[in-house]
Amino acid sequence: MTRVDFYVIGEQQRSSRETTACRLVEKAYKLGHQIYIHTSSPEQSAQIDDLLWTFRAGSFVPHARAVTADNDHPPPVLVGHEAPPGHMDDVLINLAADVPVFFSRFTRVAELVADEHDDKHSARGRFRFYRDRGYPLQTHKL
């Protein structure tokens, strides 16, 4: 069963959801995971794509946009706003406001929650969605 982790970004932390996602991706990549970062739009996909090159000096996370990835030799990290390629089922980082319809094919889902009213509100809805369906949930305060 898919494990769902909510990462709550504290108000003292000056990090955005996107930068926090990059840090989580880097950690998961170093642990040998394949990661799909699900965004809300092509613009957010482009932002994450750029941030993965620049979020931390000296960091290297091999990645590509899902729409341009080589399907024969995909990188371990893909970024997109649509359904992921068929081979992706390890870690999903959700940056969209809604629960992706394909979330349950992943072993783990990371939901990032910023310290903003609208983001907290949509995160509560996602939390209820997973909880009501019996998915194991954990919350981490950053």
Domain membership of residue 90 as a residue range: 3-141
Q: What is the pLDDT of residue 12?
A: 63
SS3 109: strand
Please report the pLDDT score of residue 35 as a whole number: 98
Average pLDDT over residues 100-107: 97
d(CA 74, CA 134): 32
Supply the pLDDT for residue 30: 97
Kindly report the pTM of this predicted structure. Answer: 0.94
Q: What is the pLDDT of residue 14?
A: 58
* pLDDT for residue 120: 93
Q: Is the pLDDT of residue 78 over 90?
A: yes
CATH number at residue 23: 3.40.50.10110
The answer on pLDDT for 126 being more than 70 is: yes
Give the mean pLDDT of 59-64.
93
Which pair of tokens denotes residue 47? Answer: 């932002």
- Higher pLDDT: 11 or 28? It is 28
Number of domains in the chain: 1
60: left (phi > 0), else alpha (psi -120 to 50), else beta?
beta
Q: At 94, is the pLDDT very low, low, confident or very high (cuts 50, 70, 90)? A: very high
Mean pLDDT for all residues in the chain: 93
Q: In the prediction, which pLDDT does 73 show?
A: 83
